[in-house]
């Protein structure tokens, strides 16, 4: 079985869906999603999704990763302490989406 790294779920400030930022177009299936995160020092940001078509992830408006096809995808990377907006946009529809701060295993993190 896979070795899963310790996940520290602290750091949320709640799911804030920013409808005005990434509203799904009524004319097609494309969808957007965003949430605000509050991360402590040395935390990383992790984003996951499962979509029917290609998807892009961005943090504070800067792209972090994108894919041309749907399915399960993930990205994680460093993120500075403070409040950040994690966003996703897909050409299709989301089956699932998450964005979280986490403290990597073996790292000393401060909230």
Partner 1 sequence: MALPLAGCTGPGGSPSSSASAVPDDWNLTPADIDNQYEEFLTDLVVKYGLDEPVEADPIRFVSAEEWAVAQVNCLNEKGFPANVGAQGGVTYGDIPAEQGPAQRRAAASCEAEYPIDPRYSMQLPRSRALAQYGFLVNTLAPCVEAQGYAVSTPPSESTWMDDYYATGQAWDPFDEAASQIAVGSDDLDDLYQACPPLSDDVYPPAAR
Q: Is 94 in the site for partner 1 (CB under 8 A)?
A: no
User: Which helix (H) or strand (E) covers residue 108, if one does?
Assistant: none
Report the residue from 86, 89, 94, 109 that binds partner 1 according to the rule CB under 8 A.
Answer: 89
Cα separation, 83 vs 68, whole angstroms: 29
| Per-residue b or e along 38-74, where b marks 16 or more CB atoms closer than 10 Å to that residue's CB | bbeeebbbbbbbbbbbbbbbbbeeeebeebeebeebe
Q: Between 42 and 61, how does the x/- string for binding to partner 1 read (CB under 8 A)?
A: --x-x-x-x-xxxxx-x-xx
Q: Is 111 in the site for partner 1 (CB under 8 A)?
A: no
Q: Judge whether 44 and 101 are in contact, CB under 8 Å.
A: yes
Task: Rank residues 20 and 110 by Cβ distance to partner 1 and give the closer one.
Answer: 20
Interface with partner 1 (CB under 8 A): 1-2, 4-5, 7, 21-25, 27-32, 44, 46, 48, 50, 52-56, 58, 60-76, 87, 89-92, 95, 98, 100, 102, 104
């Amino acid at each position: 079985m896979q070795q899963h790294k310790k996940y520290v779920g602290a750091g949320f400030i709640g799911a804030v869906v920013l409808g005005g930022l990434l509203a799904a177009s009524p004319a097609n299936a494309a969808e957007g999603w965003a949430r605000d995160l509050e991360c402590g020092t040395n935390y990383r940001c992790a984003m996951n999704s499962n979509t029917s078509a290609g998807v892009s992830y961005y943090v504070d408006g800067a792209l972090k990763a994108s894919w041309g096809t749907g399915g399960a995808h993930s990205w994680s990377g460093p993120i500075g302490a403070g409040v950040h907006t994690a966003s996703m946009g897909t050409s299709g529809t989301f089956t699932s989406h998450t964005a979280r701060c986490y403290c990597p295993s073996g790292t000393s993190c401060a909230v």
